[in-house]
Structure 1
Amino acid sequence: MPAPLALAGSGECTYPAKPIKGTPWSLQRVLLDQLWQQTKGKDAKGKPVRVAVIDTGVDISNPQLRNAVDAKAGADLLSKPKDPDAGQTKDVVGHGTKVAGIIAARPMRPETGFVGLAPESVIISIRQNDEKGTGTSKTLADGIKKAIEDGADVINISQDTVGDGNSRSLGPDPGLEEAVQEALAKDIVVVASAGNDGMDGNKKRTYPAAYPGVLAVGASDRNNERAPFSQAGDFIGVAAPGVEMVSTVPRGGQCVDNGTSFSAPYVSGVAALIRAKHPDWKQNQVVAQIEQTAERPGNSRDPYIGWGVVDPVRALTDDAHPINHVTVDKNPARGVPAPEPAALALGETPEQRRERLATYVLGATGLLVAVIAGTAVVLRDWRRRRGVETAPRGGGSA
């Protein structure tokens, strides 16, 4: 029996939503001008990279996605022809629209500071799940095959297999694994979310993220630490922002959501840029480049953040030649285990960070004053014991 699938994100908002004017923190950590210096998602010949989003559909009525989706490609693998919500360019859930926005949303200023990481790439929308959780490992496998047929360069899967209600991950599905291996053999980068069942601290595999060759993505917070909900395991390739993620929603505007669902497209956007800049690189070389250039505290793969938190600019600039696998940094100074957060938190805001630093400065100033005062007292007592007058030199006597 095909395994049911869970969407790796759980936010809700009313559609349409109001535009969010500020630049999201996940984009503030990236120098976009430097990132886009050579490409925004098109190769040197002007051909856009094609990213398949296998999800709940992508609503092209959002202005930021209207020109981002190839409406002639993709498919709706769920609906009957007479269903008013049928079609891969509609999305009653909003999940797929958010995923697509993080990859390829077009800029829209001054209304919003949000934009996709690869805003000149093209989305292939394949509707394969819905608000009822109709999607299964079989329909996901069919979606992967459709993405191959439609010429995808990157496939984003922000879903994972779920258990029987006890949060036990299922074993690999042969049909789904076959579809994934077919995509990899066709030189397609496959990116998948690790899942949001990590609060219990157990390390376990989720699929399709854990299949060999798939770049499995966990979620990180503002401090580059693992988001506590992010599933841990030995299959994690990298982590990416997945907390307080701004993205597009159906009918216009943006909302904020949390989950590895939104970490995966962040990485898919970076993969699209690498494919645009280096169209001759193989899919495994794109994956190795993202893993090699990630920000990591240690010199080995970590079960919580993999090879580290993705660094988009470094991935696009530290790229003199392709690599086939990660080479570890032998500097022992980096051999520090990755931090594991103790409780769920949405990260530290810039304002909180400034307050914290100000507290440190005040504390350090107070400590310095105390040290100076203490030193003066000690010096005075020492001089008295030596019979030295504390009055200034040159003072007259009575």
Structure 2
Amino acid sequence: MPLSKQRVRRRAVRSAVSSAAALGVLAGVAAAPAAAAAGDGARRSPLTLAATGECNFPSDNVAAVPWALQRVVLDQLWSHGITGKGVTVAVIDTGVDAVNPQLRGKVVGGPVELIDPQTKKAAQGGSTLDPVGHGTKVAGIIAARPSAATGFVGLAPDAKIYSVRQNDSEGSGQVDKLVDAINAAVKAGVQVINISQDVRGTSPTGGFTDEAQLHVAIQDAVQHGIVVVASSGNDGKEGATFPAAYPEVIAVGASDRNNERAAFSEYGSFVDVAAPGVDMLSTVPGGGQCVDNGTSFSSPYVAGVAALLKQKYPQWSPAQIAARIEQTAQRNQRDRDDFIGWGVVDPVKAVTSDAPPESAAVPEPPTALAGAPLVAQQLTLGETQADRNRRTATYVLGAGLVVVLLISGGSVVLRDHRRRRSGV
């Protein structure tokens, strides 16, 4: 196949509740679309939940606060005016709808040069049109403004979105177009780039068509001070995906409500952190919100935190921003692991910490107890000092109680005596 036709995959796992869900029955896994098995090297996630209740565009507003935001104290997160103001995040995806009220007025469209496989014509509507809905969900997690109609809001509600529509109406993308999109974002002067899609290489270090050009584009973005965030993938197995696996990129896996790796989240030594990716509520084209699953929606969660840090520390390098996010993540062990990296991102801790900048995350030091010598307690057959202290305290308490009773009783007797003398 020509070099320019290497495909990349969107990182979403569709989920909806079927009529059996009320009984706790989850629909089974369906095969990937036939187009994903084409002989041109195309790959899509085979993990597609077959269920009814597909999200419609536009959709209804969801009044409840989604679980991924319930654990974030937003007033604390946005304290001192850290809301992403002055920061622009590039969303390289299926486009971002500029009509949804929570995104209206904050989406700028980048260049589009796509040939839609369905119409065989140039993609219409530019980057502020999202025929798939994927990019609009990604953008909402980053920067959706508050609304009285819903409990959902983006982590950086005052950030702007620079949308580059890089995927066609079927959701497919190409590496060479991804390279063009990254270069366009750099030229536009964004501070953060989110890439919720990937391509799998033939080796842990890459090995796919246009790999060299993609890595150069990523390196150029980082050299311009841009934080690049990418999803790890949804195949649920071990193995590096790109661009997430590049060392310059913050690779994000998906976590569930228990802060554990979601079953679909790809894992390996390339994963830097994890973020919520299960039952993620976000904006959809036309208005309203919808729920979806995937590392596609974990990545913008981290990109939103990066936008807040970029506002707070505009002079920090991408490596320092990444280190802060990784160092403040909620860990289940001292060091990183291959399932959730350095841990599950903690937005409030990352933004409110005043620790000096670091160039890389480090393991937590061992506790003092781990290196402390064990001292045997002295064996005594008689009364210990602690026993004596407890006995003394009992005597003091008892004596105090007796005094209180005597005073109370005496006051009653005195009152009665005075009443008798006065003839009352």
What amino acid is the match of 2:281?
Answer: V
1:230 paired residue number: 265
- CA separation in 2, counterparts of 1:176 and 1:133? 19
How far residue 169 of structure 1 moved from its aligned partner, in angstroms, is 11
1:191 paired residue number: 229
1:393 paired residue number: none
Mapped contact 2:123–2:168 kept (Cα < 8 A): no
Relative distance call for 1:225 and 1:333 in structure 2 (3 A) is farther
What amino acid is the match of 1:225?
Answer: E
1:307 paired residue number: 342
- CA separation in 2, counterparts of 1:237 and 1:163? 18
Mapped contact 2:13–2:234 kept (Cα < 8 A): no
Mapped contact 1:8–1:159 kept (Cα < 8 A): yes
Structure 1: 5+ residue stretches without partners: 336-398
Q: Deviations over 1:133-176 (max 9, x none)?
A: 44111100110000000011000000001479xxx996351111
How far residue 319 of structure 1 moved from its aligned partner, in angstroms, is 2.7
SS of aligned partner of 1:256: strand
- CA separation in 2, counterparts of 1:190 and 1:84? 26
- CA separation in 2, counterparts of 1:17 and 1:50? 26
How far residue 29 of structure 1 moved from its aligned partner, in angstroms, is 0.8
2:141 is equivalent to residue 105 of structure 1: no
Mapped contact 2:141–2:297 kept (Cα < 8 A): yes
- CA separation in 1, counterparts of 2:244 and 2:345? 17
Q: How many residues matched?
A: 322
How far residue 331 of structure 1 moved from its aligned partner, in angstroms, is 2.2
Mapped contact 2:132–2:171 kept (Cα < 8 A): no
2:165 paired residue number: 127
Relative distance call for 1:169 and 1:181 in structure 2 (3 A) is closer
Relative distance call for 1:213 and 1:170 in structure 2 (3 A) is closer
What amino acid is the match of 1:53?
Answer: V
2:290 is equivalent to residue 255 of structure 1: yes
| 1:42-121 map, 5 Å | 42=84, 48-71=86-109, 74-78=110-114, 85-109=124-148, 111-121=149-159
2:67 is equivalent to residue 25 of structure 1: yes
- CA separation in 2, counterparts of 1:265 and 1:319? 23
2:149 is equivalent to residue 146 of structure 1: no
Instruction: Give the TM-score normalised by the residue count of structure 1.
Output: 0.77
What amino acid is the match of 1:232?
Answer: Y
- CA separation in 1, counterparts of 2:275 and 2:336? 15
- CA separation in 1, counterparts of 2:240 and 2:201? 12
1:295 to 320, 323, 330: 330
1:38 paired residue number: 80
Mapped contact 1:39–1:273 kept (Cα < 8 A): no
What amino acid is the match of 1:78?
Answer: L
Percent identical pairs in the alignment equals 55
Relative distance call for 1:134 and 1:245 in structure 2 (3 A) is closer
Mapped contact 2:331–2:342 kept (Cα < 8 A): yes
How far residue 240 of structure 1 moved from its aligned partner, in angstroms, is 0.0
SS of aligned partner of 1:260: coil
1:285 to 320, 325, 338: 320
How far residue 69 of structure 1 moved from its aligned partner, in angstroms, is 1.1
Mapped contact 1:57–1:91 kept (Cα < 8 A): yes
2:409 paired residue number: none
Mapped contact 1:298–1:334 kept (Cα < 8 A): no
2:354 is equivalent to residue 319 of structure 1: yes
- CA separation in 2, counterparts of 1:151 and 1:18? 35
How far residue 299 of structure 1 moved from its aligned partner, in angstroms, is 1.1
SS of aligned partner of 1:27: helix
1:8 paired residue number: 11
Structure 2: 5+ residue stretches without partners: 15-53, 371-424
- CA separation in 2, counterparts of 1:263 and 1:319? 25
Relative distance call for 1:329 and 1:138 in structure 2 (3 A) is same
Relative distance call for 1:50 and 1:33 in structure 2 (3 A) is same
What amino acid is the match of 1:37?
Answer: S
Instruction: Give the TM-score normalised by the residue count of structure 2.
Output: 0.72
Mapped contact 1:152–1:188 kept (Cα < 8 A): yes
- CA separation in 1, counterparts of 2:132 and 2:201? 22
How far residue 213 of structure 1 moved from its aligned partner, in angstroms, is 1.1
| 1:159-198 map, 5 Å | 159-162=197-200, 171=207, 173-198=211-236
Mapped contact 2:83–2:156 kept (Cα < 8 A): yes
Mapped contact 1:41–1:48 kept (Cα < 8 A): no
How far residue 328 of structure 1 moved from its aligned partner, in angstroms, is 1.3
How far residue 39 of structure 1 moved from its aligned partner, in angstroms, is 3.1
- CA separation in 1, counterparts of 2:193 and 2:73? 25
1:218 paired residue number: 253
1:204 to 232, 236, 239: 239
Greater CA deviation, 12-21 or 248-257? Answer: 12-21
- CA separation in 1, counterparts of 2:369 and 2:75? 29
What amino acid is the match of 1:107?
Answer: P
How far residue 86 of structure 1 moved from its aligned partner, in angstroms, is 2.6
How far residue 40 of structure 1 moved from its aligned partner, in angstroms, is 4.0
Q: Deviations over 1:32-72 (max 9, x none)?
A: 00000023434xxxx5101000000000111111022134x
How far residue 85 of structure 1 moved from its aligned partner, in angstroms, is 3.5
Relative distance call for 1:330 and 1:40 in structure 2 (3 A) is closer
SS of aligned partner of 2:306: helix
- CA separation in 2, counterparts of 1:293 and 1:334? 23
Relative distance call for 1:39 and 1:70 in structure 2 (3 A) is farther
- CA separation in 2, counterparts of 1:107 and 1:13? 21
